[in-house]
């Protein structure tokens, strides 16, 4: 009996460690490994924006119903919030912490470029936060616009 309980605790502990380590392995590490796929991150952010938009529309539709399905409504709100958080995580931990380098001191051009990039990333964080607070599709449009502008400046494209 004691052995069976001990085995269950050991298995439970192993599963807990696997879940924790698995979730840590998913996120991109903050060591200079040099393995980056910036375009994939941009695509991932765009996908999060589309999911936020769909969630907002579903919330509005469900809310307008004569008898709203509260379970589905809660699920769409949670989905919207989850994707806004994932977007913010990529902006913060991938781009701001790892990819946007501090400019050389005294290099005015590099400093201006740095400020433009950080400003656009900050806009994305704010619009993502606003998307969590409302179903205003204007925040989705602003997220898309900021992402496009950041993509252009990040890769040095000019139109």
Whether the per-residue pLDDT at 150 is higher than 50: the answer is yes
Q: What is the structure's pLDDT at 35? A: 76
Mean pLDDT over 124-145 rounds to: 98
Residue 89 vs residue 19, higher pLDDT? 89
> Which tokens go with 142?
């602003």
Q: Is the pLDDT score of 5 beyond 90? A: no
Burial class (CB in 10 A: 0-12, 13-18, 19+), 59: buried
Confidence of residue 7 (pLDDT cuts 50, 70, 90): low
Contact 131, 144 (CB under 8 A): no
Fold assignment, 36-154: 1.20.120
Mean pLDDT on 102-124: 97
CB of 51 closer than 8 Å to CB of 79: yes
Condensed to tens digits (0 to 9), the pLDDT of residues 78-101 reads 999 999 999 999 999 999 999 999
Gap between the Cα atoms of 9 and 13, Å rounded? 6
């Amino acid at each position: 009996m004691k052995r069976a309980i001990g085995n269950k605790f050991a298995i439970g502990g192993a599963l807990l460690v696997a879940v924790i380590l698995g979730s840590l392995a998913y996120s991109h590490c903050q060591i200079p490994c040099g393995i980056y796929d910036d375009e994939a991150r941009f695509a991932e952010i765009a996908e999060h924006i589309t999911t936020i938009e769909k969630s907002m529309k579903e919330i509005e539709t469900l809310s307008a119903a004569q008898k709203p399905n509260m379970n589905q409504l809660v699920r769409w709100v949670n989905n919207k919030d989850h994707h806004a958080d994932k977007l913010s995580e990529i902006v913060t931990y991938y781009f701001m912490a790892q990819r946007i380098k501090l400019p050389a001191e005294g290099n005015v051009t590099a400093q201006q470029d740095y400020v433009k990039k950080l400003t656009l990333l900050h806009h994305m964080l704010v619009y993502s936060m606003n998307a969590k607070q409302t179903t205003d599709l204007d925040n989705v449009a602003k997220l898309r616009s900021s992402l496009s502008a950041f993509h252009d400046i990040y890769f040095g494209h000019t139109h």
